[in-house]
Amino acid sequence: MSDPLLQASGIYKSYGHVEVLKGVDFTVERGEVTALIGDNGAGKSTLVKILSGALRPDRGEIRVAGRPVSFDSPQDAHALGIETVYQDLALAPELGSAENVFAGRELLKPGLLGRLGVLDRKTMRRRTQQAFIEMSTDVKDIDAPVAALSGGQRQSVAICRSVMWADKVIFMDEPTAALGVRQTGRVLQLIRRVADKGIAVVLISHNMPEVLQVADRVQVLRLGRRVAEFRAADTTVEELVGAMTGALEGKAA
């Protein structure tokens, strides 16, 4: 069997005297949605920050496709095809979808104009439109400022942006937390489609039914350790909650 796409082993991280991560192991596979769940303070966001390059671990090893890596910044992770969709989406509300998708990665016109820094707006719009169609998002007007879009559409823009740049792993921090039922459904479909492209999606969520609906595997953190790993098809909400709270010790799938 080939190496996991992303593998973290023995990750430790402390803030002062508080040991947040105590030797966490974590693996994600190509084309799968891996849910990362845990109670507040279990260390989910710290782990994701470490795996997406925003934080450095005190100890531990991260391998991407079998190769050991170390990230000094999110840009290092980006360069390896790892993107993060932040809970606050990190979009520029006054600008349009294409402008947001290409933020910091603008394409320039070929030739002299490009050397003067002139943007190739047509290509950026076309590629954004293409990505939206490919992902079947419901963003109708890619020129409209992002602030004018619905919450679900904004989430779609943020996800499509990460899909355009990630070819390996996308971390999504509570992507449906602020959404209504219908929009949540659409975003979950979108997450599924992202995974079907062969990208590994790591979904952080508090919503157990949602996790079971969209994830392939579920990994449970508790008090800074991975305490259980389930196949979503073989588990139940009760079992997940049990593992999160420590009421029962789960076994790896």
Partner 1 sequence: MSDVRTAAPAGTASEPAGAVPPAAPRSPVRRFLSSSPAYMGLVLLLLVALFSALRPDAFPTAATGRNISLDISVLLVMAVGMTYVMVAGGFDLSIGSVLVFSGVVMAKTMIAIGGDGPLVVAAGIAASVGAGVAWGLLNGVCIAVLKVPALITTLGTMGAALGAAQLMTDGNDITDVPSALLTITASRPLGFSWLVYVAAAVALVGGLVLAFTRFGRHTYLIGSNEESARRAGIDVDRHLIKLYAISGGLAGVAGALSLIRFATTTISGHATDALQVITGVVLGGTSLYGGVGTVLGTVVGIFIPAVLQNGFVITHVQPYWQQVVIGFVLIAAVYVDRLKRRRRERS
| Only segment of 41-49, 57-65, 139-147, 221-229 that touches partner 1 (CB under 8 A) | 139-147
Quick one: 141 exposed, middle or buried, by C-beta within 10 A (0-12, 13-18, 19+)? Answer: exposed
Among residues 65, 69, 119, 241, which is the contact residue for partner 1, using CB under 8 A? Answer: 119
Cα distances (Å, whole numbers) of residue 247 to 228, 241, 242, 243, 250 = 12, 8, 5, 6, 10
Residue 139 Cβ vs partner 1, minimum distance, rounded to whole Å: 7
Residue 210 Cβ vs partner 1, minimum distance, rounded to whole Å: 18
Contact between 129 and partner 1 by CB under 8 A: the answer reads yes
| Only segment of 5-13, 118-126, 172-180, 238-246 that touches partner 1 (CB under 8 A) | 118-126
Instruction: Give pairs for 51-56: CB < 8 Å, separation 24+.
Output: 51/6, 51/8, 51/26, 51/77, 51/82, 51/169, 51/171, 51/202, 52/77, 52/82, 52/83, 52/84, 52/171, 53/77, 53/78, 53/82, 54/84, 55/13
CA nearest neighbour of 148 among 95, 213, 223: 95
Q: Is 205 in contact with 214 (CB distance < 8 Å)?
A: no
DSSP state, residue 2: P
Contact between 112 and partner 1 by CB under 8 A: the answer reads no
Distance CA 168, CA 148 (A): 31
Contact between 10 and partner 1 by CB under 8 A: the answer reads no
Among residues 108, 223, 241, 253, which is the contact residue for partner 1, using CB under 8 A? Answer: 108
Quick one: 157 exposed, middle or buried, by C-beta within 10 A (0-12, 13-18, 19+)? Answer: buried
Interface of this chain with partner 1, residues 190 to 249, rule: CB under 8 A: 192-193, 196-198
Residue 140 Cβ vs partner 1, minimum distance, rounded to whole Å: 5
Distance CA 186, CA 176 (A): 10
Contact between 167 and partner 1 by CB under 8 A: the answer reads no
| Only segment of 39-47, 57-65, 105-113, 169-177 that touches partner 1 (CB under 8 A) | 105-113
The smaller minimum CB distance to partner 1, of residues 192 and 225, is found at 192
Residue 204 Cβ vs partner 1, minimum distance, rounded to whole Å: 17
Among residues 56, 105, 182, 231, which is the contact residue for partner 1, using CB under 8 A? Answer: 105
Residue 92 Cβ vs partner 1, minimum distance, rounded to whole Å: 4
Contact between 51 and partner 1 by CB under 8 A: the answer reads no
Token readout for 76 is 């290092």
Contact between 143 and partner 1 by CB under 8 A: the answer reads yes
DSSP state, residue 108: B
Q: Which residues make up the interface to partner 1 (CB under 8 A)?
A: 74-75, 78, 86, 89-95, 99, 103-106, 108, 116-119, 121, 129-130, 132-134, 136-145, 147-148, 189, 192-193, 196-198
